[in-house]
């Protein structure tokens, strides 16, 4: 197969774009997609400091690599979830990545903040591990941004992540989630950093290819707690649809963003307060993170 751009040997076929690329042209394509996302949603400028949330996986490290290459002012944020060998290995990958490129990495421990690592949190709350983990990650990402003076947090969510989240929200008609699903969430409170997803135009196969071609040493094994998660089932369904109809995921997500999201956004208005305990943003008096920490403390 030949590269659509230059005729050299292709290394990746992108059926949804009816294209195939050689290594240099694929890397250019990838960077241009990130640049288009940043520009279209005015995610950040080169004058702003960007906090990149990294997990040690392909997506977040690929994102950080692109932003470093494009001369953005970035720091990494690694949240240590305390998930046994998985966390030990993923933290080491992030530290090695940051050290090799001479960029700062902030490490924050979930166990220190909540009082217990994710596996203990799961037992205490008797809810799926992803529930307390997701809540803790959102809270600690925003807290780290505020503590260290970053106006914006960038995450490695890709097209597949976003399409699977959308499918999950539509299946349950979660209008609040649909109103919030966006490649760029603005700051709606002085204690809320902007959240952006510069990889939302790229599939996870494309981010995996980018990480491989850039020789990024990422953790291939995934979180043991995510096994059997509903989001994985949604991804598999979408991948089957993509196999018979290239572009299906893209059309599903981009159709929603361009044609439907605004209707849900109008229907949702929430008043944000500051948590009486920690000062972070909440819709109640005590935030969900402080309530989770209380629950962990009571059981230990």
What does the binding site for other proteins look like in residue numbers (CB under 8 A)? Answer: 1, 10-13, 15, 20, 57-59, 158, 160-161, 164, 203-205, 207-209, 212-213, 220-224, 226-229, 231-232, 235-236, 239-240, 242-243
Q: Whose Cβ is closer to other proteins: residue 112's or residue 221's?
A: 221
Other beta carbons within 10 Å of 232: 13
Minimum CB separation of residue 260 from other proteins in Å reads 24
* Chain center to CA of 199: 9
Q: How far apart are CA 139 and CA 232, in angstroms?
A: 24
Would you call 53 helix, strand, or coil by DSSP?
strand
Would you call 73 helix, strand, or coil by DSSP?
strand
Angle of CA points 126, 57, 290, to nearest 5°: 35
Minimum CB separation of residue 281 from other proteins in Å reads 26
Q: Whose Cβ is closer to other proteins: residue 3's or residue 290's?
A: 3
Minimum CB separation of residue 164 from other proteins in Å reads 8
Minimum CB separation of residue 136 from other proteins in Å reads 16
Count of alpha carbons within 13 angstroms of residue 179, beta-carbon side: 11
Would you call 21 helix, strand, or coil by DSSP?
strand
Minimum CB separation of residue 84 from other proteins in Å reads 12
Minimum CB separation of residue 300 from other proteins in Å reads 28
Would you call 123 helix, strand, or coil by DSSP?
helix
Judge contact between 21 and 9, C-beta under 8 A. Answer: no
Q: Whose Cβ is closer to other proteins: residue 25's or residue 59's?
A: 59
Q: Whose Cβ is closer to other proteins: residue 80's or residue 161's?
A: 161
Pairing of strands 12-14, 49-54: unpaired
What tokens appear for 219 in the block?
A: 């953790």
Q: How far apart are CA 253 and CA 155, in angstroms?
A: 17
Helix (H) or strand (E) holding 296: helix 288-299
Q: Whose Cβ is closer to other proteins: residue 28's or residue 285's?
A: 28
Q: What is the dihedral of CA 290, 55, 157, 14, to 10 degrees?
A: -170
Minimum CB separation of residue 101 from other proteins in Å reads 20
Q: Whose Cβ is closer to other proteins: residue 160's or residue 295's?
A: 160
Q: Whose Cβ is closer to other proteins: residue 80's or residue 242's?
A: 242
């Amino acid at each position: 197969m030949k590269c659509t751009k230059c005729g050299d040997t292709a290394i990746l076929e992108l059926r949804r774009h009816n294209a195939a690329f050689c290594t240099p042209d694929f890397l250019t394509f990838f960077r241009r997609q990130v640049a288009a996302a940043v520009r279209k949603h005015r995610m950040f400028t080169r004058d702003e400091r960007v906090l990149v949330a990294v997990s040690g996986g392909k997506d977040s490290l690929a994102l950080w690599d692109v932003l470093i290459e494009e001369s953005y002012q970035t720091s990494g944020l690694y949240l240590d979830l305390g998930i046994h060998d998985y966390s030990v290995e993923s933290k080491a990958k992030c530290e090695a990545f940051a050290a090799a490129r001479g960029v700062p990495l902030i490490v924050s421990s979930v166990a220190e903040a909540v009082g217990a690592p994710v596996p203990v949190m799961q037992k205490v709350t008797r809810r799926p591990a992803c529930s307390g983990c997701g809540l803790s990650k959102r809270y600690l990402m925003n807290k780290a941004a505020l503590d260290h003076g970053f106006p914006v947090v960038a995450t490695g969510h890709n097209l597949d992540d976003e399409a699977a989240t959308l499918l999950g929200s539509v299946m349950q008609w979660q209008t609040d989630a649909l109103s919030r699903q966006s490649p760029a969430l603005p700051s709606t409170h002085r204690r809320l950093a902007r959240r952006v997803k510069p990889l939302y135009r790229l599939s996870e196969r494309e981010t995996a290819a980018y990480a491989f071609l850039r020789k990024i040493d990422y953790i291939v094994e995934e979180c043991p707690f995510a096994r059997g998660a509903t989001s994985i089932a949604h991804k598999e369904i979408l991948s089957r649809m993509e196999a018979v109809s290239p572009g299906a995921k893209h059309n599903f997500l981009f159709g929603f963003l361009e044609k439907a999201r605004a209707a849900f956004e109008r229907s949702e208005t929430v008043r944000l307060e500051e948590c009486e305990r920690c000062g972070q943003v909440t819709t109640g008096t005590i935030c969900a993170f402080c309530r989770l920490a209380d629950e962990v403390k009571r059981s230990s």
